[in-house]
């Protein structure tokens, strides 16, 4: 990882094996996405790093035990209102926000992209990458193994692609942000020129599903 960014995951992997990411920031730490298990060692480590002031979750697949995490750290959970129907455990700690962006503190911003959920969200951390900017993408934009591209899906388990219009919409939302690095949900990241990688990936995706180009 990098300074002030910590990965949190369960080993051996549990369920789909996503990671959460903790962003340390002067006005309060933000937990990005969530994992199911919060054990004592993890709690103590996070507390030593300054705790959690807010939990922001990209989409419902990572809601998991968000209420337990919120109670453990007296934190607020930020969820896009478009995905309210998928909350199975209502709680006063949950805050539903609307619109396309939600400014947090220290320049951090949540941006709604849509994708495989209507409220699919990314977190922009402008202080990351030594000020060049970092995007935490979950799998709204899925970093692929070559680490030079991302992909977009309606359903990953069923391998159902997004439409060209949906991919363009996701790419537009991200293009408004300044970032050089991207950290995805599954231990994959793009460590330089990530914004160009998103543009290139979106163009390639749309071309393949609309124009049927020659194989590459």
Tell me if 151 is assigned to some domain: yes
Tell me if 216 is assigned to some domain: no
How many Cα atoms occupy the beta-carbon half-sphere of 135 within 13 Å? 32
* Position 213 confidence tier, pLDDT thresholds 50, 70, 90: low
Q: Is the pLDDT of residue 60 over 60?
A: yes
Tell me if 93 is assigned to some domain: yes
Peptide linkage before 193 cis (omega within 30 of 0):
no
What's the confidence (pLDDT) of residue 12? 84
What's the confidence (pLDDT) of residue 98? 97
What's the confidence (pLDDT) of residue 212? 66
pLDDT in tens, 111-161: 999 988 999 999 999 999 999 999 999 989 999 999 999 999 888 878 888
User: Sign of the CA dihedral 45, 41, 78, 12?
Assistant: positive
Tell me if 196 is assigned to some domain: yes
User: Sign of the CA dihedral 78, 84, 89, 92?
Assistant: positive
- Residue 121 tokens read as 């969200």
Tell me if 108 is assigned to some domain: yes
- How are beta strands 153-155 and 5-8 bridged, if at all? unpaired
Taking all residues of the chain, what is their mean pLDDT, rounded to a whole number? 92
Q: Which of 109, 108, 112, 116 is nearest to 100 (CA)?
A: 112
CATH number at residue 51: 3.60.15.10
Tell me if 215 is assigned to some domain: no
Please count the structural domains in the chain: 1
Determine the structural domain holding residue 55 and report its residue range: 5-210
- Residue 13 tokens read as 């992997």
pLDDT in tens, 83-95: 999 999 999 999 9
Tell me if 52 is assigned to some domain: yes
pLDDT in tens, 4-39: 999 998 888 777 768 999 999 999 999 999 999 999
Tell me if 166 is assigned to some domain: yes
- Residue 130 CA, chain-centre distance (Å), reads 20
């Amino acid at each position: 990882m990098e300074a002030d960014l910590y990965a949190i995951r369960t080993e051996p992997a549990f369920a789909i094996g996503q990671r959460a990411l903790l962003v340390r920031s002067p006005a309060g730490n933000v937990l990005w996405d969530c994992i199911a298990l919060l054990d004592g060692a993890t709690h103590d480590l996070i507390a030593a790093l300054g705790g959690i002031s807010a939990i922001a979750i990209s989409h419902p697949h990572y809601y998991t035990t968000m209420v337990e995490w919120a109670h453990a750290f007296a934190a607020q959970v930020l969820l896009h209102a478009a995905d309210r129907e998928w909350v199975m455990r209502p709680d006063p700690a949950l805050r539903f926000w609307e619109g396309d962006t939600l400014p947090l503190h220290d320049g951090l911003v949540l941006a709604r992209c849509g994708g495989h959920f209507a409220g699919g969200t990314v977190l922009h951390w402008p202080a990351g990458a030594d000020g060049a900017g970092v995007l935490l993408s979950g799998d709204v934009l899925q970093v692929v193994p070559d680490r030079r591209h991302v992909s977009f899906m309606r359903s990953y388990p069923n391998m159902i692609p997004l439409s060209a219009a949906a991919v363009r919409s996701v790419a537009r939302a991200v293009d408004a942000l300044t970032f050089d690095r991207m950290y995805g949900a599954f231990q994959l990241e793009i460590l330089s020129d990530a914004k160009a990688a998103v543009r290139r990936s979106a163009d390639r995706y749309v071309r393949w599903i609309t124009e049927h180009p020659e194989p590459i």
